[in-house]
């Protein structure tokens, strides 16, 4: 995420070629479930489970890495509100929160967005298979490299 310490309201970036920007603007219909100053939510038209919701910033940011940090509070508020509302509506026992960043991770629409997927025991959805632990030395090497990069500016 990029830092943005401005608290003044600004116009949201818009990409006329982005399907999500066009949905937010009302040019393409959707089944809207949530809206606040920073975020917009609607039902996914290809749901993993019934009630699968997409939550996205109103501004066009190709990935979560491009979003200003200032929208973090609104993001958490939207996730909590939509997660609770979706679980209640769908009589779900939980939900998966999924965010794909870049094509290699499965991102197909390049406007940052989160999937809220309601879950019930035995629904058959398995988000990802786990791999074998690569061992203590490799794990430490990976942890050290990630830590070094995450604390530098």
More confidently predicted of 61 and 4? 61
- Among the listed residues 113, 115, 121, 147, the single catalytic one is 113
Residue 115 falls in the annotated catalytic set: no
The yes-or-no verdict on residue 7 having pLDDT over 90 is no
Q: Residues 70, 73, 79, CA angle at the centre, nearest 5°?
A: 130
| Count of domains forming the chain | 1
More confidently predicted of 2 and 129? 129
Distance CA 141, CA 148 (A): 11
Does residue 4 form part of some domain? no
pLDDT score recorded for residue 87: 95
Query: Domain range spanning residue 99?
Result: 19-128
Distance CA 27, CA 30 (A): 10
Does residue 59 form part of some domain? yes
pLDDT score recorded for residue 2: 40
Does residue 113 form part of some domain? yes
Does residue 58 form part of some domain? yes
> Across all residues in the chain, what is the average pLDDT?
90
Residues 152 and 106 sit within 8 Å (Cβ to Cβ): no
* Percent of the chain at pLDDT exceeding 90: 75
More confidently predicted of 5 and 118? 118
Does residue 139 form part of some domain? no
The stretch 3-31 carries a mean pLDDT of 80
- Any idea what the CATH number is for the domain that residue 120 is in? 3.30.428.10
Distance CA 90, CA 82 (A): 12
More confidently predicted of 111 and 149? 111
Q: Is 23 helix (H, G, I), strand (E, B) or coil?
A: helix
Residues 64 and 16 sit within 8 Å (Cβ to Cβ): no
Does residue 6 form part of some domain? no
Does residue 122 form part of some domain? yes
Q: How far is CA 140 from CA 4, 121, 131, 134, 137, in A?
A: 33, 35, 17, 10, 5
The yes-or-no verdict on residue 4 having pLDDT over 50 is no
CA torsion sign for 98, 104, 107, 111 is positive
Does residue 109 form part of some domain? yes
pLDDT tens track for 60-118: 999 999 999 998 899 999 999 999 999 999 999 999 999 999 999 999 999 999 999 99
Structure tokens at 131: 């791999």
């Amino acid at each position: 995420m990029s830092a943005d310490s401005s608290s003044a309201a600004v116009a949201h970036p818009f990409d006329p070629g982005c399907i999500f920007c066009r949905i937010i603007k009302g040019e393409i219909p959707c089944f809207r479930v949530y809206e606040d100053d920073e975020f917009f939510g609607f039902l996914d038209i290809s749901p993993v489970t019934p009630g699968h919701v997409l939550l996205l910033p109103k501004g066009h940011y190709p990935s979560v890495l491009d979003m200003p940090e200032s929208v973090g509070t609104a993001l958490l508020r939207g996730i909590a509100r939509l997660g609770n509302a979706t679980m209640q509506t769908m009589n779900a026992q939980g939900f998966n929160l999924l965010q794909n960043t870049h094509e290699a991770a499965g991102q197909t629409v390049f406007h940052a967005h989160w999937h809220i997927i309601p879950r019930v025991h035995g629904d058959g959805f398995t988000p990802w298979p786990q791999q074998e632990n690569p061992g203590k030395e490799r794990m430490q090497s990976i942890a050290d490299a990630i830590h070094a990069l995450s604390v530098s500016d």
